Amino acid sequence: MNWRLVFGGKCCVRSHSVRKAYSLNIYFWLVVSALGGINSVFIQPVQALESEKNAVVTETKIRRIRETPFPATSVKELLSQSPTNTPSLVQITEVEAVPTDQGVEVILQTPFGEQLQVTNRSSGNNYIADIPNAQLRLPIGDSFTFRSEKPVTGITEITVTNFDANTVRVSIIGETALPTIELFDSDRGLIIGAIAPVPSAQQPPAEDEPIEILVTGEQDGYRVPNASVGTRTDTPLRDIPQSIQVIPQQVLQDRQARSITEGLENTAGITSIVSPASGRDYFTIRGFETYGGFLINGIPDPQISSDGSFVNAERLEVLRGPAAALYGETGSISGTINVVTRQPLSYPFYEVSATAGSYNDYQGVIDLSGPLDDTGMLLYRLIVSYRNYNSFLDFDENTETFIAPSLALRFSQNTDLVIEGDVNILEQNGREAQPILGTVLENPNGEVSRSFNAAGPLNNEQRINGRIGYRLEHRFNNNWRLRNAFRYTFYADDNNNGEPIIFYDSLADDNRTLNRGFLIGSQFYNNFNLDTNLLGTFNTGTIEHQLLIGFSLNQNTTDLNYEFGDAQPVDIFNPVFDQTVNPTGQLSTDSFTTRGTFGVYLQDQIAIAENLKLLLGGRVDFFEETQDDRLADEETSQSDTAFSPRVGIVYQPLPPISLYASYARSFAPTIGIAAGGDTFRPERGTQYEVGIRADITDQLSANLALYDLTRSNVTTPDPNNPVFSVQTGRQRSRGVELDISGEMTPGWNIIGGYAYTDARITEDNDPTIEGNRRYSAPEHSFSLWTTYRIQDGDLQGLGFGVGVYYLGERWADNANTVELPSFFRTDAAIFYERDRFRAAVNFRNLFDVENYTSDYGSGTFVNRGAPFTVLGTVSWQF
């Protein structure tokens, strides 16, 4: 008689202090069943295979399964329940690789002494252990990956990573052969002991054995199966009834993305509406502009898109369509972008990199992380960057200094705290758009130079953008956790104590004289955000629930004081800049605005069956805005409420296929008063979406979405009183989106997408624009980026990348007066990775294609895209 469990190589199992030895090719099969209301374990013996006749089978400890849960009748019972259909998800809170006399021990620590079930496999020299119903968690619940290269002689690499939403995969690679594995249960959790294989000449003859060949998940690949932006929980994308795309770290690195704008070029349906040379990152998504729909690690942060650094970005998560049910007004009508930053690591990590590129672009980055104590209870990360760069525009000289420290503290097995912050100091010259006449449209005087900058030579303006905050999590048990987060964000721009900023105004009738203006003053923004929620799983009968209930407090303050005036004009074809201005000292704008918002949200992710899931959610926001006009010595105040629901359903007819449908609404406060004295109602967005997500393979997935998105309560000029506005505007966007990402074959990765967007103005008080297309909303857009890494041989580590980015014709303004031409841009890369060394050269706009972006919907000015550029990077980990 024998038990069936496949091991690759020798394996020993110890339950507490008892160690039991098993020989090669032992098959061990445990069939455990819980009979209604009775704790019971049934172990079914099976006949030994021919190759197992001499196998030694000994006792091992088997944990009893809890009795079948029943509907809760009290709060205590509710907090103590586990899901009926699936075991509780065990959190692995720490991973260590400790050298021993014979090899190395991998310690997987769990918070409540939970034991882990292991399924063992092998592939060549690679030992693979899959742990179902478990997830790796850094403090505050973020997923992470553990990697240790050459921890001891004979072991090439150890990786521990989240293979999917419910499985942790451990991979231990022997240098010359499969390592011998020992499994131990301890009070800290599971210990996997790996004994390094002896050299080939000393190894005994291998017995014939069945080995299941597997492809392990890429830890930094192009496919990310989970995201938190769609539900505030670490949920598989296949279980979320809304279109979400993740741009992982590997893509950002392969493309050498330097900004949010460049990172988002890998998604379809997102179009920039500012200059690629600018420090601003604003877009249209699904045909509607977004200026404030940004998060950092799930917390609203409106300033990350304004002169913020991208150095510490780990990945981008893009939720398309309204998300106000979770994030209030930040969950804008068109989409929400979550920037996930690099977190403290539980193992020593040190990296330095240097970058040099076209237009005197130089940057150095230092990234340090690891434990600060022997117990691993205190982790840190420090990222420092300095960049000095110009652009293709004249007079555009910049320096950027960035510092991002963070600490992760584990107070106990159940309580974690992350304290994090960053500051970005940008010293920047002015950079301005160019007239459409002479760029997109023919000008009888000629073509405007690509490098023309209407700002002219100016002293650099200093802008400081920073944030500091914390994220705290306490786990009551494996099913319930309390999370609290706070962030303070600030932005300061004081125009260097009276130095002017010069900007374009209008093009004179001679089509060559550019009228300019100036402003002198300052702007300061402060944002305080506090969020607290309770997340738990429980059952009602056979239905599993994941409940999220929380509230958020937000306060924004804006302090503006400016003087505007006229600056000396300039000839755009023969520019001679006179930067003389004549300020009067009389302010044109002097105001202090405070907006406070209190929101309460509730979400229930319901698993009706294993292949049928329902999402119900909603949020109520109460907001008030007060503006102190210091010039008029007048204070005005406005308040309102908004309810934002979300409903979705996911049906999976086959495990790799998810069909979904959803309904969601958004709101945006609209501050103002109509002619009759009535305050404006919040602008609303309503979306219906259906789609299909397919896991084509374990490493490749695709998503197809069809949506109908309507924007209502849009302010338009009052036809009876042009000084005022009325909320009679209505706009609609309908479209189709397709995206794909992952690994096609070993070494060949791909990410890309296509979007068809039909965004139009359906109702407006100006009948001449009804039916017009929305500005910067191309009907067709397409992007594709793919890389290949040579897997073996003398050229192993060498890789190549190529990408295309297509943007169809689109209007420069809502009046549809000027259409920007389509363009097809080609990018490329070549890189070499060996051990801890990486070198890369990236080529952007390889064929120097002329391209334009709309300038905030202006019909008379346009932003010119960058020409062919080269960027080289060398990095070293030690």
Instruction: Identify whether residues 485 and 523 lie together within a single domain.
Output: yes
The residue assigned the tokens 């758009």 is 433
On whether residue 216 sits in a domain, the answer given is no
Q: Give the pLDDT confidence score for residue 4 in this predicted structure.
A: 32
User: What global pTM score does this model have?
Assistant: 0.80
Same domain, 488 and 614: yes
The answer to whether residue 202 scores a pLDDT higher than 50 is no
CB neighbours of residue 6 within 10 Å: 18
Choose from 85-89, 121-125, 856-860 the range with maximum mean pLDDT: 856-860
Asked whether the predicted pLDDT for residue 364 surpasses 70, the reply is: yes
Q: Report the C-alpha gap between 560 and 525 in whole angstroms.
A: 9
Of residues 166 and 390, the one with the higher pLDDT is 390
For residue range 782-799, what is the model confidence (pLDDT) as tens digits?
999 999 999 888 899 999
Return d(Cα 228, Cα 397) in angstroms, integer: 38
Q: Is residue 452 part of a domain?
A: yes
pLDDT in tens, 282-332: 899 999 998 889 999 999 998 888 888 899 999 999 999 999 999 999 988
> What range defines the domain where residue 272 resides?
232-292+301-341
**Could you tell me if residue 736 is inside a domain?**
yes
- Give the H/E segment covering residue 79: helix 75-80
pLDDT value at 710 more than 90: yes
The DSSP 8-state label assigned to residue 395 in this structure reads T
Across 611-637, average pLDDT:
95
Do 387 and 316 share a structural domain?
no
Domain check: are 623 and 732 in the same one? yes
* Count, residues in the chain: 878
pLDDT at 64 over 50: no
Residue 6 shares a structural domain with residue 153: no
Domain harbouring 181, CATH code: 2.60.40.3500
- Residues whose CB falls within 8 Å of the CB of residue 17, separated by 6 or more in sequence, listed in order: none
Adjacent-strand bridge partners of 475: 481
Between β-strands 543-571 and 513-540, what pairing exists: parallel, antiparallel or unpaired?
antiparallel
Considering the domain boundaries, does residue 77 fall inside one?
Answer: no
The total number of structural domains that make up the chain: 4
The 10s digit of each residue's pLDDT in 242-284 is 999 999 999 999 999 999 999 999 998 999 988 655 667 889 9
d(CA 472, CA 408): 10
* pLDDT of 115: 77
For residues 437 and 817, give the distance between their C-alpha atoms in angstroms, rounded to a whole number.
Answer: 12
> Considering the domain boundaries, does residue 214 fall inside one?
no
Residue 423: exposure state from Cβ atoms within 10 A (0-12, 13-18, ≥19): middle
Any domain includes 75: no
Whole-number pLDDT of residue 21: 32
CATH code of the domain containing 436: 2.40.170.20
The answer to whether residues 365 and 495 belong to one domain is yes
- Reported as a pLDDT band with limits 50, 70 and 90, residue 495 is low
pLDDT for residue 741: 96
pLDDT of residue 113: 62
- Do 63 and 151 belong to one domain? no
85 burial via Cβ count (<10 Å: 0-12, 13-18, 19+): exposed
Q: Are residues 434 and 571 in the same domain?
A: yes
SS (H, E, C) 234-295: CEEHHHCCCCEEEECHHHHHHHCCCCHHHHHHHCCCEEECCCCCCCECCEEECCEEECCCEE
Question: What is the domain-level CATH number for residue 272?
Answer: 2.170.130.10
- 56 and 104 share one domain: no
Q: Average pLDDT, stretch 759-764? A: 95
Residues 407 and 506 in one domain: yes
CA distance 71 to 77: 9
Question: What type of residue sits at position 850?
Answer: E
Residue 72 in this model has a pLDDT that exceeds 50? no
Q: Which of 317, 341, 365 is the last residue of a domain?
A: 341
User: What is the distance between the alpha carbons of residues 165 and 655, in angstroms, rounded to a whole number?
Assistant: 14
Which among 198, 219, 240 is the end of a domain?
198
Q: Are residues 97 and 238 in the same domain?
A: no
101 and 18 part of one domain: no
Is residue 79 a part of any domain in this protein? no
The CB-side HSE value for 348 (13 A sphere, CA atoms) comes to 7
Q: Is residue 80 part of a domain?
A: no
Hey, which bits of 277-435 come out as E strands? 283-285, 288-290, 294-296, 299-300, 313-320, 335-341, 349-357, 361-371, 378-390, 397-410, 415-428, 434-435
